[in-house]
Amino acid sequence: MIDVHKKLADHVGARPDKGFKSTLFETSRILLGMNCLEPGQEQKAHDHPDQDKFYMVTEGIGEFLVGDTTITASAGEVVFAPAGAVHGVRNISEGRLSMLVGITPWKST
């Protein structure tokens, strides 16, 4: 049986070379994880042609690109990237940017 309870704090971390990612839950329908970026780090713009994605900021401030729109979001705010929309994020805060991220439908590899 899948572990149905996780603490976000247990899935926060850093990597000096690129963003940190930790999977909380993964099924054939959804991927839910934590993504963390240190100051100045970014997730380059990309798209998921058949998948919706959300970023819920839990700490820090991010500058998000969704299509032609740039959005600044901080803790407690959610950014949604619908399937096919080019999206990315850059940490513009002085501390860590942590985000709960969900992708659905998930196509595990």
Q: Summarize pLDDT for 7-46 with one digit per residue, the tens.
A: 999 999 999 999 999 999 999 899 999 999 999 999 999 9
Distances (CA, A) of 9 to 22, 59, 68: 11, 11, 32
Mean pLDDT, the chain, as a whole number?
95
Q: Annotate 14-83 with DSSP letters as a single string.
A: --SSS-EEEEEEE-SS-EEEEEEE-TT-EEEEE--TT-EEEEEEEESEEEEEETTEEEEEETT-EEEE-T
What is the reported pLDDT for 2? 72
Please state which CATH class domain 36-109 belongs to. mainly beta
3 pLDDT above the threshold of 90: no
